[in-house]
Amino acid sequence: MKLGIIMNGVTGRMGTNQHLVRSILAIREQGGVPIGDGDVVWPEPVLVGRNERKLRGLAEAYSIQDWSTDLDACLGDPELPVYFDAQVTSQRAPALRAAIAAGKHVYCEKPVAGSLEEALELARLARAAGLRNGVVQDKLFLPGFQKLRRLRDGGSFGRILAVRGEFGYWVFEGDWQPPQRPSWNYRREDGGGIILDMLCHWRYVLDHVVAPVRAVSALGATHVPQRVDEAGRRFVCTAEDAAFATFELEGGVVAQFNSSWAVRVARDDLLTLQVDGTEGSAVAGLRGCWIQHRAATPRPTWNPDVPREIDYRAGWQEVPDNQRFENGFKVQWERFLRHVACGDPFPWTLLEGAKGVQLAEAGLRSWRERRWVDLPGLDV
Protein backbone atom coordinates (compact mmCIF):
# COMPACT_ATOMS: atom_id res chain seq x y z
CA MET A 1 0.00 0.00 0.00
CA LYS A 2 1.78 3.12 -1.20
CA LEU A 3 1.27 6.20 0.95
CA GLY A 4 2.41 9.56 -0.42
CA ILE A 5 3.75 11.90 2.28
CA ILE A 6 4.37 15.64 1.97
CA MET A 7 7.42 16.22 4.19
CA ASN A 8 7.64 19.95 4.84
CA GLY A 9 10.68 21.39 6.60
CA VAL A 10 12.94 18.34 6.52
CA THR A 11 16.02 20.28 5.39
CA GLY A 12 16.69 21.11 9.05
CA ARG A 13 18.92 18.95 11.24
CA MET A 14 16.20 17.01 13.04
CA GLY A 15 13.94 16.82 10.00
CA THR A 16 16.74 15.31 7.93
CA ASN A 17 18.33 13.00 10.48
CA GLN A 18 15.44 11.74 12.58
CA HIS A 19 12.40 11.97 10.32
CA LEU A 20 13.76 11.44 6.82
CA VAL A 21 16.86 9.27 7.20
CA ARG A 22 16.29 7.33 10.43
CA SER A 23 12.52 7.00 10.02
CA ILE A 24 11.06 7.13 6.50
CA LEU A 25 14.15 5.93 4.62
CA ALA A 26 14.85 3.31 7.30
CA ILE A 27 11.27 2.05 6.92
CA ARG A 28 11.79 1.77 3.16
CA GLU A 29 15.09 -0.07 3.69
CA GLN A 30 13.35 -2.66 5.87
CA GLY A 31 10.68 -3.19 3.21
CA GLY A 32 7.87 -1.01 4.57
CA VAL A 33 5.61 -1.25 7.62
CA PRO A 34 3.99 -4.71 7.97
CA ILE A 35 0.19 -4.60 8.36
CA GLY A 36 -0.62 -8.33 8.20
CA ASP A 37 -1.15 -11.04 5.57
CA GLY A 38 2.16 -10.13 3.96
CA ASP A 39 1.01 -6.59 3.14
CA VAL A 40 3.04 -3.47 3.97
CA VAL A 41 2.61 0.29 4.00
CA TRP A 42 5.20 1.81 1.66
CA PRO A 43 5.93 5.51 2.34
CA GLU A 44 6.59 7.68 -0.73
CA PRO A 45 8.10 10.98 0.50
CA VAL A 46 7.94 14.27 -1.36
CA LEU A 47 10.36 16.80 0.13
CA VAL A 48 8.91 20.30 0.44
CA GLY A 49 10.48 23.57 1.53
CA ARG A 50 11.41 27.09 0.50
CA ASN A 51 15.08 26.58 -0.38
CA GLU A 52 15.43 24.91 -3.78
CA ARG A 53 19.17 24.36 -3.38
CA LYS A 54 18.80 22.55 -0.06
CA LEU A 55 15.91 20.44 -1.33
CA ARG A 56 17.75 19.39 -4.47
CA GLY A 57 20.87 18.54 -2.51
CA LEU A 58 18.93 16.49 0.03
CA ALA A 59 17.02 14.64 -2.68
CA GLU A 60 20.23 13.83 -4.57
CA ALA A 61 22.05 12.73 -1.42
CA TYR A 62 19.36 10.18 -0.56
CA SER A 63 18.10 9.28 -4.05
CA ILE A 64 14.66 10.77 -3.51
CA GLN A 65 12.84 11.44 -6.76
CA ASP A 66 10.25 14.02 -5.77
CA TRP A 67 10.73 17.42 -4.18
CA SER A 68 8.98 20.78 -4.53
CA THR A 69 8.95 24.40 -3.36
CA ASP A 70 5.22 24.64 -4.14
CA LEU A 71 3.36 23.54 -1.02
CA ASP A 72 -0.04 24.49 -2.43
CA ALA A 73 0.46 22.24 -5.45
CA CYS A 74 1.43 19.32 -3.20
CA LEU A 75 -1.60 19.89 -0.97
CA GLY A 76 -3.76 19.73 -4.09
CA ASP A 77 -2.33 16.36 -5.16
CA PRO A 78 -4.71 13.47 -4.32
CA GLU A 79 -1.78 11.03 -4.50
CA LEU A 80 -0.33 12.65 -1.37
CA PRO A 81 -2.82 11.95 1.46
CA VAL A 82 -0.43 12.65 4.38
CA TYR A 83 1.14 15.97 5.41
CA PHE A 84 4.11 16.11 7.82
CA ASP A 85 5.47 19.34 9.29
CA ALA A 86 8.91 19.90 10.80
CA GLN A 87 9.17 23.64 10.08
CA VAL A 88 10.05 26.32 12.62
CA THR A 89 7.28 26.72 15.18
CA SER A 90 6.02 30.07 13.88
CA GLN A 91 5.18 28.57 10.46
CA ARG A 92 3.60 25.31 11.62
CA ALA A 93 0.01 26.26 12.48
CA PRO A 94 -0.80 28.03 9.16
CA ALA A 95 0.60 25.09 7.17
CA LEU A 96 -1.30 22.54 9.26
CA ARG A 97 -4.48 24.55 8.85
CA ALA A 98 -4.02 24.54 5.07
CA ALA A 99 -3.27 20.79 5.05
CA ILE A 100 -6.41 20.00 7.07
CA ALA A 101 -8.47 22.19 4.72
CA ALA A 102 -7.04 20.17 1.82
CA GLY A 103 -8.21 16.93 3.47
CA LYS A 104 -4.77 15.63 4.43
CA HIS A 105 -4.01 13.43 7.41
CA VAL A 106 -1.52 15.43 9.47
CA TYR A 107 1.50 14.52 11.57
CA CYS A 108 3.83 17.15 12.98
CA GLU A 109 6.66 18.06 15.28
CA LYS A 110 6.04 19.87 18.52
CA PRO A 111 5.16 22.50 19.59
CA VAL A 112 1.99 22.13 17.53
CA ALA A 113 1.49 25.90 17.57
CA GLY A 114 2.66 29.05 19.31
CA SER A 115 -0.49 29.33 21.46
CA LEU A 116 -2.99 27.02 23.12
CA GLU A 117 -5.84 28.69 21.21
CA GLU A 118 -4.21 27.81 17.87
CA ALA A 119 -3.34 24.28 19.00
CA LEU A 120 -6.92 23.55 20.07
CA GLU A 121 -8.26 25.04 16.84
CA LEU A 122 -6.11 22.62 14.83
CA ALA A 123 -7.32 19.67 16.91
CA ARG A 124 -10.95 20.70 16.39
CA LEU A 125 -10.50 21.19 12.65
CA ALA A 126 -8.89 17.77 12.21
CA ARG A 127 -11.58 16.04 14.26
CA ALA A 128 -14.41 17.82 12.43
CA ALA A 129 -12.88 16.78 9.10
CA GLY A 130 -12.50 13.16 10.23
CA LEU A 131 -8.76 13.18 9.55
CA ARG A 132 -6.07 11.09 11.22
CA ASN A 133 -3.70 13.32 13.17
CA GLY A 134 -0.69 13.00 15.38
CA VAL A 135 2.15 14.81 17.11
CA VAL A 136 5.73 13.62 17.57
CA GLN A 137 6.30 12.63 21.22
CA ASP A 138 9.62 10.91 20.73
CA LYS A 139 10.91 10.85 24.30
CA LEU A 140 8.21 8.36 25.29
CA PHE A 141 10.10 5.87 23.13
CA LEU A 142 13.53 6.43 24.66
CA PRO A 143 14.79 3.11 26.09
CA GLY A 144 15.54 4.71 29.45
CA PHE A 145 12.05 6.13 29.81
CA GLN A 146 10.40 2.92 28.61
CA LYS A 147 12.23 1.14 31.42
CA LEU A 148 11.01 3.76 33.89
CA ARG A 149 7.43 3.16 32.80
CA ARG A 150 7.97 -0.61 33.10
CA LEU A 151 9.16 -0.09 36.68
CA ARG A 152 6.16 2.10 37.47
CA ASP A 153 3.70 -0.39 36.00
CA GLY A 154 5.38 -3.20 37.93
CA GLY A 155 5.00 -1.39 41.25
CA SER A 156 8.72 -0.91 41.85
CA PHE A 157 8.31 2.59 43.24
CA GLY A 158 5.43 1.96 45.61
CA ARG A 159 3.84 5.36 46.16
CA ILE A 160 5.71 7.86 43.98
CA LEU A 161 6.87 10.86 46.00
CA ALA A 162 8.90 13.10 43.73
CA VAL A 163 10.58 13.43 40.34
CA ARG A 164 13.69 15.34 39.35
CA GLY A 165 14.64 16.03 35.75
CA GLU A 166 17.82 17.58 34.37
CA PHE A 167 18.16 18.53 30.72
CA GLY A 168 20.60 20.62 28.75
CA TYR A 169 24.09 21.33 27.53
CA TRP A 170 26.23 24.29 26.53
CA VAL A 171 25.18 25.68 23.14
CA PHE A 172 28.08 27.68 21.77
CA GLU A 173 27.39 31.33 21.11
CA GLY A 174 28.47 31.18 17.47
CA ASP A 175 31.44 33.52 17.59
CA TRP A 176 34.41 31.31 18.43
CA GLN A 177 32.69 27.94 17.85
CA PRO A 178 29.65 27.10 15.67
CA PRO A 179 26.38 26.75 17.63
CA GLN A 180 24.57 23.39 17.82
CA ARG A 181 21.11 24.94 17.55
CA PRO A 182 19.55 27.36 15.03
CA SER A 183 19.50 31.04 15.95
CA TRP A 184 15.70 31.35 15.86
CA ASN A 185 15.60 29.30 19.08
CA TYR A 186 16.76 32.47 20.89
CA ARG A 187 14.28 34.93 19.34
CA ARG A 188 10.82 35.14 20.89
CA GLU A 189 9.40 36.76 17.75
CA ASP A 190 10.37 33.66 15.72
CA GLY A 191 8.81 31.18 18.15
CA GLY A 192 11.98 30.59 20.16
CA GLY A 193 12.50 30.03 23.86
CA ILE A 194 13.29 26.92 25.87
CA ILE A 195 9.98 27.03 27.78
CA LEU A 196 7.86 26.64 24.64
CA ASP A 197 10.32 24.11 23.24
CA MET A 198 10.97 21.84 26.21
CA LEU A 199 7.91 22.09 28.48
CA CYS A 200 5.93 20.51 25.62
CA HIS A 201 8.22 17.49 26.04
CA TRP A 202 8.01 17.43 29.82
CA ARG A 203 4.20 17.46 29.65
CA TYR A 204 3.90 14.16 27.80
CA VAL A 205 6.84 12.59 29.63
CA LEU A 206 5.36 13.35 33.06
CA ASP A 207 1.77 12.56 31.97
CA HIS A 208 2.63 9.14 30.57
CA VAL A 209 5.71 8.00 32.50
CA VAL A 210 4.81 9.29 35.99
CA ALA A 211 1.40 10.97 36.49
CA PRO A 212 -0.69 13.72 34.85
CA VAL A 213 0.46 17.33 35.40
CA ARG A 214 -2.00 19.52 37.33
CA ALA A 215 -0.13 22.81 37.97
CA VAL A 216 3.18 24.56 37.27
CA SER A 217 5.44 27.21 38.76
CA ALA A 218 8.23 28.31 36.44
CA LEU A 219 11.08 30.79 36.16
CA GLY A 220 12.92 31.53 32.93
CA ALA A 221 16.27 33.23 32.33
CA THR A 222 18.30 34.52 29.40
CA HIS A 223 21.79 33.65 30.55
CA VAL A 224 23.55 34.43 27.26
CA PRO A 225 22.22 37.83 26.13
CA GLN A 226 23.81 37.90 22.66
CA ARG A 227 24.60 35.24 20.08
CA VAL A 228 25.77 35.00 16.46
CA ASP A 229 23.40 33.80 13.74
CA GLU A 230 24.00 31.60 10.69
CA ALA A 231 25.18 34.58 8.63
CA GLY A 232 27.75 35.61 11.23
CA ARG A 233 25.69 38.53 12.54
CA ARG A 234 25.50 39.23 16.24
CA PHE A 235 21.96 39.54 17.60
CA VAL A 236 20.24 40.20 20.92
CA CYS A 237 18.49 37.16 22.40
CA THR A 238 14.84 37.95 23.08
CA ALA A 239 13.89 34.49 24.36
CA GLU A 240 15.00 32.58 27.45
CA ASP A 241 17.70 29.91 27.21
CA ALA A 242 17.02 28.33 30.63
CA ALA A 243 13.93 27.35 32.59
CA PHE A 244 13.49 26.12 36.15
CA ALA A 245 10.06 24.58 36.74
CA THR A 246 8.18 22.82 39.52
CA PHE A 247 5.14 20.72 38.65
CA GLU A 248 2.36 19.38 40.82
CA LEU A 249 1.24 15.98 39.51
CA GLU A 250 -1.85 13.93 40.17
CA GLY A 251 -1.68 12.16 43.52
CA GLY A 252 0.43 14.85 45.16
CA VAL A 253 3.65 13.97 43.32
CA VAL A 254 6.09 16.88 43.04
CA ALA A 255 8.33 17.16 39.97
CA GLN A 256 11.20 19.56 39.36
CA PHE A 257 12.77 20.09 35.96
CA ASN A 258 15.80 22.18 35.04
CA SER A 259 16.21 22.89 31.31
CA SER A 260 19.12 24.89 29.94
CA TRP A 261 21.12 25.61 26.80
CA ALA A 262 23.71 27.34 28.98
CA VAL A 263 24.83 24.55 31.31
CA ARG A 264 27.85 22.26 31.21
CA VAL A 265 27.13 18.58 31.65
CA ALA A 266 28.25 16.82 34.85
CA ARG A 267 25.78 13.92 34.79
CA ASP A 268 25.46 10.61 32.99
CA ASP A 269 23.45 11.94 30.04
CA LEU A 270 22.10 15.11 28.41
CA LEU A 271 18.70 14.21 29.85
CA THR A 272 18.19 12.38 33.14
CA LEU A 273 15.02 11.70 35.13
CA GLN A 274 14.96 10.42 38.71
CA VAL A 275 11.82 9.00 40.30
CA ASP A 276 11.70 8.44 44.06
CA GLY A 277 9.07 6.32 45.80
CA THR A 278 8.37 4.60 49.08
CA GLU A 279 9.58 1.22 47.80
CA GLY A 280 12.46 2.32 45.60
CA SER A 281 14.01 4.87 43.27
CA ALA A 282 15.21 4.88 39.68
CA VAL A 283 17.19 7.22 37.48
CA ALA A 284 17.04 7.03 33.68
CA GLY A 285 19.01 8.59 30.87
CA LEU A 286 18.34 8.34 27.17
CA ARG A 287 19.05 4.60 27.05
CA GLY A 288 20.04 3.31 30.46
CA CYS A 289 18.09 3.03 33.71
CA TRP A 290 19.27 2.18 37.24
CA ILE A 291 17.17 1.26 40.26
CA GLN A 292 17.70 1.10 44.03
CA HIS A 293 15.21 -0.85 46.15
CA ARG A 294 14.42 0.23 49.69
CA ALA A 295 16.14 -2.90 51.07
CA ALA A 296 19.36 -1.95 49.23
CA THR A 297 19.31 1.71 50.26
CA PRO A 298 22.43 2.74 52.21
CA ARG A 299 22.26 4.60 55.52
CA PRO A 300 24.26 7.80 55.09
CA THR A 301 24.86 10.24 57.94
CA TRP A 302 25.91 13.84 57.67
CA ASN A 303 29.50 14.31 58.81
CA PRO A 304 31.61 16.64 56.65
CA ASP A 305 34.61 16.16 58.96
CA VAL A 306 35.49 12.67 57.69
CA PRO A 307 36.10 11.35 54.16
CA ARG A 308 33.08 9.93 52.33
CA GLU A 309 32.74 6.25 53.17
CA ILE A 310 29.89 5.23 50.86
CA ASP A 311 30.15 4.74 47.12
CA TYR A 312 26.64 5.93 46.36
CA ARG A 313 26.66 4.90 42.70
CA ALA A 314 27.67 1.34 43.58
CA GLY A 315 24.33 0.75 45.27
CA TRP A 316 22.32 1.05 42.05
CA GLN A 317 21.39 -1.89 39.82
CA GLU A 318 21.08 -1.48 36.05
CA VAL A 319 17.68 -2.38 34.60
CA PRO A 320 18.06 -4.92 31.75
CA ASP A 321 16.80 -4.13 28.26
CA ASN A 322 14.61 -7.27 27.97
CA GLN A 323 13.67 -6.15 24.46
CA ARG A 324 15.12 -4.59 21.32
CA PHE A 325 14.75 -0.82 21.20
CA GLU A 326 14.54 0.95 17.85
CA ASN A 327 14.82 4.64 17.04
CA GLY A 328 11.88 6.31 18.79
CA PHE A 329 11.04 8.59 15.88
CA LYS A 330 10.88 5.58 13.55
CA VAL A 331 8.69 3.58 15.95
CA GLN A 332 6.17 6.40 16.21
CA TRP A 333 6.21 6.92 12.42
CA GLU A 334 5.38 3.24 11.96
CA ARG A 335 2.50 3.56 14.41
CA PHE A 336 1.18 6.63 12.58
CA LEU A 337 1.42 4.98 9.16
CA ARG A 338 -0.56 2.00 10.47
CA HIS A 339 -3.04 4.46 11.97
CA VAL A 340 -3.58 6.12 8.59
CA ALA A 341 -3.64 2.92 6.56
CA CYS A 342 -5.54 0.60 8.89
CA GLY A 343 -7.07 2.70 11.64
CA ASP A 344 -4.84 1.22 14.34
CA PRO A 345 -5.00 3.18 17.63
CA PHE A 346 -2.75 6.24 17.87
CA PRO A 347 -3.12 8.12 21.16
CA TRP A 348 -0.62 10.92 20.43
CA THR A 349 -3.08 13.24 18.70
CA LEU A 350 -3.16 16.99 18.10
CA LEU A 351 -5.08 17.25 21.37
CA GLU A 352 -2.14 15.65 23.19
CA GLY A 353 0.10 18.16 21.43
CA ALA A 354 -2.16 20.96 22.64
CA LYS A 355 -1.58 19.80 26.22
CA GLY A 356 2.12 20.47 25.75
CA VAL A 357 1.42 23.99 24.48
CA GLN A 358 -0.92 24.49 27.44
CA LEU A 359 1.89 23.68 29.87
CA ALA A 360 4.37 25.93 28.06
CA GLU A 361 1.87 28.79 28.00
CA ALA A 362 1.15 28.27 31.71
CA GLY A 363 4.89 28.21 32.42
CA LEU A 364 5.40 31.52 30.66
CA ARG A 365 2.44 33.00 32.52
CA SER A 366 3.79 31.71 35.84
CA TRP A 367 7.15 33.33 35.14
CA ARG A 368 5.51 36.60 34.10
CA GLU A 369 3.11 36.76 37.06
CA ARG A 370 5.42 35.04 39.57
CA ARG A 371 2.80 32.52 40.76
CA TRP A 372 1.47 28.95 40.43
CA VAL A 373 -0.80 28.29 37.41
CA ASP A 374 -3.33 25.43 37.38
CA LEU A 375 -3.95 23.35 34.23
CA PRO A 376 -7.63 22.70 33.51
CA GLY A 377 -8.63 19.68 31.45
CA LEU A 378 -8.71 20.05 27.67
CA ASP A 379 -11.20 18.73 25.14
CA VAL A 380 -12.28 19.43 21.56
- Domains annotated for the chain, with CATH where assigned, are 2-138+328-358 (3.40.50.720), 143-286+288-324 (3.30.360.10)
Question: For strand 271-277 and strand 160-168, is the pairing parallel, antiparallel, or unpaired?
Answer: antiparallel
Question: 286-331 pLDDT, tens per residue?
Answer: 999 999 999 999 999 999 999 988 999 999 999 999 999 999 999 9
Query: How far is it, in rounded angstroms, from Cα 139 to Cα 302?
Result: 37
Interacting residues of 26 by C-beta distance below 8 A, sequence separation 6+: 327, 330
Query: How far is it, in rounded angstroms, from Cα 255 to Cα 78?
Result: 46
202 φψ region: left (φ > 0), alpha (ψ -120 to 50), beta (else): alpha
Q: What pLDDT does 339 receive?
A: 98
Partnered with residue 105 across adjacent β-strands are 82
Intervals of the chain under pLDDT 70: none
Q: Closest Cα to residue 181, out of 170, 189, 166, 165?
A: 170
